[in-house]
Chain A
Amino acid sequence: DAKTTQPPSMDCAEGRAANLPCNHSTISGNEYVYWYRQIHSQGPQYIIHGLKNNETNEMASLIITEDRKSSTLILPHATLRDTAVYYCIVVNAGGTSYGKLTFGQGTILTVHP
């Protein structure tokens, strides 16, 4: 699986958009970009995933560059409860390949009042 690079930490003001970047320059054509987050002492929570098109759900938006070498997770209106470690993971998913997740260090997002 391709490796990812994320900033170790970011801050965001409550109510503002949080934009979390991720570099995955070695991603291959059949690999998806997944985002999970982990709030202290809880299991990781799935946020969103995409292949090459931008995606949006009730939690966030995922913007993937045209060359697929990087992506940005957008939390449109961050709240204090969004404070967590955010993981960007590239996964060879689907077919006979299992979707083993390889977690990096992630980005610690702190939302402050």
Chain B
Amino acid sequence: DTGVSQDPRHKITKRGQNVTFRCDPISEHNRLYWYRQTLGQGPEFLTYFQNEAQLEKSRLLSDRFSAERPKGSFSTLEIQRTEQGDSAMYLCASSLLAGATDTQYFGPGTRLTVL
């Protein structure tokens, strides 16, 4: 059983650089979520896709952040002009909406450090 995978697992970058993260959901899952988690806090919702459509974006997702899910399969999250405050764990989750429930399964996360 292949779970949610994320790449890279760790990323160190300098302030002002652009970074891109990839998430591969569980096969056949039609929903994909991005969350961000800072040290000592629970994950916070960033955005969500159903198939290829991005249906919701949190106000946490500034203009420097963009997410895509072409063809409704993998997703990418890009951060432009990174800031030190972007340092966090970026988590991806996927789910299959079936009946009345929508259970999300998380990947291992990408830890971003902005110097």
DSSP majority for the B interface? strand
Q: Which residues of B contact A15 (CB under 8 A)?
A: none
Q: For window 38-76 of chain B, which residues contact chain A by CB distance below 8 Å?
A: 41-45, 48, 50, 55-56
In the complex, the answer to whether B102 meets A44 with C-beta atoms within 8 Å is no
In the complex, the answer to whether A103 meets B42 with C-beta atoms within 8 Å is yes
Q: Which residues of B contact A99 (CB under 8 A)?
A: 31, 95, 101-104
* Per-residue contact bits, chain B 63-106, to A (CB 8 Å; 1 contact, 0 not): 00000000000000000000000000001010101011111111
Q: Interface size (B, Cβ < 8 Å)?
A: 29
In the complex, the answer to whether B100 meets A95 with C-beta atoms within 8 Å is yes
Q: Which residues of A contact B21 (CB under 8 A)?
A: none
Complex partner residue of A44 from B56, B91, B99, B100, CB under 8 angstroms = B91
**CB of B9, distance to nearest CB on chain A (Å):** 10
* Per-residue contact bits, chain A 19-38, to B (CB 8 Å; 1 contact, 0 not): 00000000000001010100
Q: Interface size (A, Cβ < 8 Å)?
A: 26
In the complex, the answer to whether B106 meets A98 with C-beta atoms within 8 Å is no
Per the bound structure, the CA–CA distance linking A51 and B103 in Å amounts to 13
In the complex, the answer to whether B31 meets A104 with C-beta atoms within 8 Å is no
Most buried by A among B35, B41, B42, B103: B42
In the complex, the answer to whether A93 meets B108 with C-beta atoms within 8 Å is no
In the complex, the answer to whether B33 meets A94 with C-beta atoms within 8 Å is no
Q: Which residues of A contact B55 (CB under 8 A)?
A: 98
Query: Known contacts A43-B107, A93-B100; is A103 also within 8 Å of B91 by CB?
Result: no
Q: Which residues of B contact A41 (CB under 8 A)?
A: 111
Identify 10 residue pairs between A and B in the complex whose beta-carbon atoms are under 8 Å apart, listed by A's number.
Answer: A41-B111, A42-B108, A43-B107, A44-B91, A45-B106, A46-B104, A46-B105, A93-B100, A94-B97, A99-B101
B binding-site residues for A, Cβ under 8 Å? 4, 31, 33, 35, 41-45, 48, 50, 55-56, 91, 93, 95, 97, 99-109, 111
Query: Besides the contacts A99-B31, A105-B42, what 9 more A-B pairs have beta carbons closer than 8 Å?
Result: A42-B109, A43-B93, A43-B106, A44-B43, A93-B100, A94-B97, A98-B55, A99-B104, A100-B48
